[in-house]
Chain A
Amino acid sequence: MQVVFMIILTYGLYRLAKWLAKRIPILLFHPLLFTPALIIIVIHLLDIEPTHYSDGTALLTHMLGPATIAFAIPIYKHIHFFRKNFAMIMIAVIIGSFVAIFSTLALALLVKLEQHLLISLLPRSITTPLAMEVSASIDGVPALTIVFVILTGIMGSLMAPFIFKIFRIKTPMAKGLALGMSAHAVGTNRAIEYGDEATTFSTLAMIFAGIVTVILGLTLLPQLVALL
């Protein structure tokens, strides 16, 4: 019974956030800010344990797996496009992934962040299911990594228009690759506003940035973490 209630609660508040965000496009109504904040208030008022909530909504979290697999569909549909732009996509995600990891590392060392936070922060720029696996493989805390991934996505999609203005980015290719690389699925959601071409590039960048970071998580990152 509680499971049904928690899923309906989550879905209802998610729909509400989407409805509000469409009419009043401000940060407050972002589905990843508005909905979790209200849920935290509701479960607190109803005295539901946070662990009960996460167990009850495990089905929703589970869907991240099939959703990631479903990204094979846009790749398949744009396979010619992908082959034609293969080199550019790879250049973008390889440079982007290194910048993501090393800028995070440098800033974290600068503010003397605790080690478990720092490690959990490293895979933050890729899509959740992959970020969790990388986090676990370098002894981070996957639950913390999820939060960092979400913050990255929200901030990335919000700052995109300003970044593109400051650096005078005009082409859908550059916008899409930058969004997918820096802000994964949430950024790809934003790329829809810049058209089909930007969305396709963003999807491809998100997937390949994930793969590059997973490979780095198995090779370079453990050695980097050992040095800390």
Chain B
Amino acid sequence: MKKITKIILQVAIIHIFLFLAIGIKALWPVPLPTTIIGLILLLLALQFKLIKLEWIEEGGRWLMAELLLFFIPSAVGIVNYQEITSLQGLGLVLIIGLSTAVVMGVTALVVERLGGRT
């Protein structure tokens, strides 16, 4: 039970950075998504020792470890789009698969080649 309380508290602390980011975005139209602003703010706060790593480490680890859980409601949303299950859907899956393979292959090869020389 103690661990759960700690995680909840730490997730709440991480939320402060989300709200700060929303506030900043409302006041000043930064062309970055709020989550990236929040990430930068948290990184700066850690770097400048405004907060300690221990205050958020466990909560952050939980959020990252359970990331797939947070995607599930969106994945269920597929039922609203019948077109994905039609013939277009087959084309979509093919495009995504092929393109992902190309991106992964090219990125890996570039890094493997360049990395060997430096």
List residues of A whose CB falls within 8 A of some B CB: 10-11, 14, 31-32, 35-36, 39-40, 43, 50, 53-54, 57-58, 60-61, 63-77, 79, 88, 91-92, 95-96, 99-100, 103-104, 107-108, 111, 113-114, 117, 121, 124-125, 128-130, 133, 143-144, 146-148, 150-152, 155-156, 159-160, 163-164, 166-167, 169-171, 173-175, 177-179, 181-183, 185-186, 189, 205, 207, 210-211, 214, 218
Contacts and interface: CB of A to CB of B under 8 A. Distances in A.
Interface of A is mostly: helix
A178 B14 contact: no
Interface of B: 11, 14-15, 17-18, 21, 31-36, 38-40, 42-43, 46-47, 53, 56-57, 59-61, 63-64, 66-81, 83-84, 88, 91-112, 114-115, 118
A187 B98 CA distance: 16
B63 A177 contact: no
B10 to A, nearest CB: 9
Nearest to A131: B33
A222 B42 CA distance: 30
Contacts of A69: 14, 17-18, 21, 35, 38-39, 42
Nearest to B104: A182
B74 A147 contact: yes
A182 B83 CA distance: 25
Nearest to A187: B104
B11 A66 contact: yes
B104 to A, nearest CB: 4
Given A117-B88, A189-B68, A53 B105 contact: no
B116 to A, nearest CB: 8
Given A69-B18, A70-B14, A103-B98, A64 B70 contact: yes
A40 to B, nearest CB: 6
B97 A65 contact: no
- A-B complex: 4 closest residue pairs judged by Cβ atoms: A178-B108, A70-B60, A182-B104, A72-B42
Interface of B is mostly: helix
Interface centre among B40, B47, B91, B112 (most CB of A within 10 A): B112
A14 B81 contact: no
Given A50-B80, A57-B73, A167-B109, A159 B104 contact: yes
A151 to B, nearest CB: 5
A112 B24 CA distance: 41
Given A96-B107, A147-B78, A167-B108, A218 B36 contact: no
A88 B115 contact: yes
A214 B108 contact: no
Contact of B95 (A68, A104, A160): A104
22 contacts: A14-B68, A60-B72, A63-B63, A66-B18, A67-B66, A69-B21, A72-B40, A88-B111, A95-B110, A104-B95, A111-B91, A111-B94, A124-B96, A125-B100, A129-B33, A133-B33, A159-B104, A166-B105, A177-B107, A177-B111, A178-B108, A182-B104
Contacts of A40: 76, 78-79
A177 B79 CA distance: 33
A171 B39 contact: no
